[in-house]
Amino acid sequence: MTTTILSPAERAWAVLEQLSDPEIPVVTLRELGILRDVREVASGLEVVITPTYSGCPAMGQIEDDVKAALATEGLQATVVTQLAPAWTTDWMTDAAKDKLRAYGIAPPHACASAPSGSANVVQFASRGTQAAVVNCPQCGSANTTETSHFGSTACKALYRCLDCMEPFDYFKPY
Residue at 93 is within a domain: no
Task: State the total domains in the chain.
Answer: 2
- Is 44 a domain residue? yes
pLDDT tens track for 15-46: 999 999 999 999 999 999 999 999 999 999 99
110 Cα distance to chain centroid: 13
Please indicate, yes or no, if residue 150 is contained in any of the structural domains: yes
Residue 152: which domain range? 105-112+132-171
Same domain, 13 and 77: yes
Per-residue model confidence as pLDDT tens digits over 72-81? 999 999 999 9
> Which value, to the nearest 10 degrees, does the dihedral of the CA atoms of residues 9, 14, 20, 21 take?
20
Please state the separation of Cα 138 from the chain's center in Å.
Answer: 21
Closest CA to 106 of 68, 50, 159, 70: 159
Handedness of CA 118, 120, 124, 130 (dihedral sign): positive
Query: Residue 107: which of 64, 167, 168 has the closest Cα?
Result: 168
pTM: 0.82
Residue 125 lies in a domain: no
DSSP-assigned letters across all residues of 70-94 = HHTTT--EEEEE--SSPP-GGGS-H
Q: Could you report the per-residue pLDDT of 124-168, keeping only the tens digit for each?
A: 444 444 568 999 999 999 999 999 998 888 889 999 999 999 999
**Domain for residue 72, yes or no?**
yes
